Amino acid sequence: MSSQTFKYSITISKKAANRVESEKLYKQVEHVKLRAFNASRVKAGWKGRISDDNLEKPKKTAEGYTYFARFSVTCKPARARQPDVVEAQWQEIKLTIESSAKINGWEVTGQDGKKVKQKEVAFAEAKIPEDWKSHFEHLYERDDQISIVLSALQAGISTDFDDRYHVCLVGPPAGGKTEILRAVRTLLGNDAVLEYDATATTQAGAIKDLDSRAEIPRVLLIEELEKVDENSLRWLLGVLDHRAEIRKTNFKVNIHKSVKMLCISTVNNYDLFLDMMSGALASRFPNHIYCPRPNRRILEQILIREVARVKGRTKWIKPTLDYAEKNRITDPRKVISICLCGRNDLLTGDYQAKLDRTSISKFHKKTRLKLKKESRDE
């Protein structure tokens, strides 16, 4: 049995013009407690005790009455836990308390005996320049996707980012998702955009980074969101929803900061993304935008551009596309490589023959069939 004990507290309050029956208030507070400290959390060592004496004798002001209920929270895990893990669980419990309390008009007003006060925050300027089209001109047949991204940006800009309709670009690799993110960065400038490598960003690291910034960017870009460990993404839920904030409260720090940012992310594995955090993460993104891989017509446009860039011959393009179509190659990066590496050898078929003789996919297929046969023989 672990000897660790973690202690926290959180206070919720409710204002009313007239007196409210104490029995009704007790039921509301008890409902919050049951939601926050469900069976799984109790099993993990969490326990919440309510101090609710004020419900009988509310504080009277000129505006009416104010009721308070304080949760004294302890965690005694059955086995030793890293403080960061416990802190992440506490953040989840706080979110549950806040969302459950809000249903009946309560709000969080204090944590660990301290009044919750947001830091004064400065935000970077974000605006869509008149020459915005030039930033996306290298992307072919992605006008609809780009238009939706720009619409979400404009909605944020026009409301001082009170309206933040986050965008998730979904689809297989090489569908232009990353290129759209890069274009947004050049469009708005580095000061207005924050880009996180989600697989290398921990919850503690993200909160520390955002808290230390004197000026908060307006747009958050995240690549391949579904590949991130869920425990490293808990901070993102508070950033993406209506609260637009980061919070961290323990015996060392008390962080509560507004971070009104619009998030644009990419996702390759959509099914995995939908299941993350029981669907809570995906629900924060109103815009799920599909970006398919390019067809032959788009690949031709890409090759025309790339061949012109190296002052090559347009005759290379057709044999490249024929070979790609025959072998079901739709990744523009691979198609460009075939064209610009094969060059004149594509016109005689020599380069295609070399690719066939060295094809890893055929080798891999043969290897798998061989292993499968050996398995059956055994």
For residue 286, is it within any domain? yes
For residue 241, is it within any domain? yes
Residues 138, 175 within the same domain: yes
Residues 111, 156 within the same domain: no
- Mean pLDDT per block of 10 residues along the chain (378 residues) reads 74 88 89 90 88 80 86 83 78 87 86 51 90 93 96 95 95 91 94 83 77 88 88 83 70 66 95 91 95 93 94 96 94 94 96 91 62 57
For residue 378, is it within any domain? no
For residue 157, is it within any domain? yes
Residues 204, 307 within the same domain: no
Question: What is the chain's length?
Answer: 378
The CATH number assigned to the domain holding 65 equals: 3.30.70.1130
How many domains does the chain fold into?
3
141 secondary structure, DSSP code: S
Residues 262, 143 within the same domain: yes
For residue 372, is it within any domain? no
For residue 373, is it within any domain? no
CB atoms within 10 A of CB 324: 20
Residues 263, 337 within the same domain: no
For residue 316, is it within any domain? yes
Domain span at residue 102? 6-115
Residues 190, 47 within the same domain: no
Q: What string of DSSP letters covers 3-54?
A: ---EEEEEEEEEEESS---HHHHHHHHHHHHHHHT-HHHHHTTEEEEEE-GG
List CB contacts of 166: < 8 A, sequence separation 6 or more: 152, 240, 262, 263, 264, 265, 284, 285, 286, 287
Residues 209, 331 within the same domain: no
Q: What string of DSSP letters covers 248-293?
A: EESSS-EEEEE---EEEEEES-HHHHHHGGGGHHHHT-SEEEE-PP
Distances (CA, A) of 345 to 256, 328, 352, 354, 356: 62, 21, 8, 10, 14
Residues 276, 172 within the same domain: yes
Residues 209, 260 within the same domain: yes
301 secondary structure, DSSP code: H
Residues 164, 279 within the same domain: yes
**In this predicted structure, what is the pLDDT of residue 114?**
44
- Separation of alpha carbons 29 and 37, rounded Å: 12
Residues 273, 326 within the same domain: no
The CATH number assigned to the domain holding 219 equals: 3.40.50.300
For residue 377, is it within any domain? no
Residues 275, 154 within the same domain: yes
**In this predicted structure, what is the pLDDT of residue 117?**
47
